[in-house]
Amino acid sequence: MGADIHYAIEARDGTGRWHTLYLSDLFYTEWWTSRFPRNTPVSDLLDGPTWRHYALFGVLSAVRGENPLAPTLGNDDGVLLRGMGPDEEPETYALPADASPIARDRMGEDSADCHSQGWLLRRDLDAMAALLDLGHSRWADHPQEAALLRAWIRQICTIMDLLAGKDGTPGLIGGPICYVPGDDYDDPNAPVLHARTHGTSAHEILQITTRITSGQGFAPEELRVLVCYDN
């Protein structure tokens, strides 16, 4: 069996709480396909960052490969940022401590077969994209890895703009995905948007939903992508 990549897009509300706007695990569920049919521009875009390519995995997280773009971009462990695990060892891969409940449940350290967690803020993605556009002599021998990372960043940023809204354009979904851990993903009624808030207040839900539906958008430090792998 090979390794696969999973990702989530999160946005932060005015109270500092993070909410999941999209989780790639939803892509093949009835819940998602009943709302967004397969083989459409939106579905193709959302599925793009999950394509298996070990050269990209190596750059992102040193999974099934190495990061030859270091030290200009990232380090030997990849370009993604990492959290601290339960043992508080710096080398431990972990999601941010403030990740949303659905992200922790589906992508956290206790998830089955999930490993090498990491994340990047939108401002990190924009900065890396700018560096990749400029190019660097150190990457001359690794054009494939640089091109793969640039394409992946472009996809993630486009998805963020699609979900969260930008420049007055309302977001795709309209609010955060909230659910109770353990829900059956094959049930078209689960996870349920807004219905089960799992500790999120109605004010927080309304606040972030209003920002998305109004197209107000988010600052670069208020959007992030979470990543993990299996096998």
- The string of pLDDT tens digits covering residues 167-190 is 878 887 767 776 544 445 555 455
Quick one: pLDDT at residue 179?
Answer: 58
Quick one: pLDDT at residue 194?
Answer: 38
Residues 83, 92: Cα–Cα separation, whole Å: 7
* Residue 135 main-chain phi, psi, to 5 deg: 80, 165
What pLDDT, in 10s, does the model give residues 65-76?
999 998 888 898
Domain count, the chain: 1
In terms of pLDDT, which residue wins out, 21 or 203? 21
Residues 97, 81: Cα–Cα separation, whole Å: 13
pTM greater than the 0.75 cutoff: yes
Residues 9, 114: Cα–Cα separation, whole Å: 17
Q: Which helix (H) or strand (E) holds 116?
A: strand 114-121
- 46: pLDDT strictly greater than 70: yes
State the residue range of the domain holding 27: 4-230
Q: What is the DSSP letter of 142?
A: -
- Percentage of residues in the chain having pLDDT higher than 70: 81
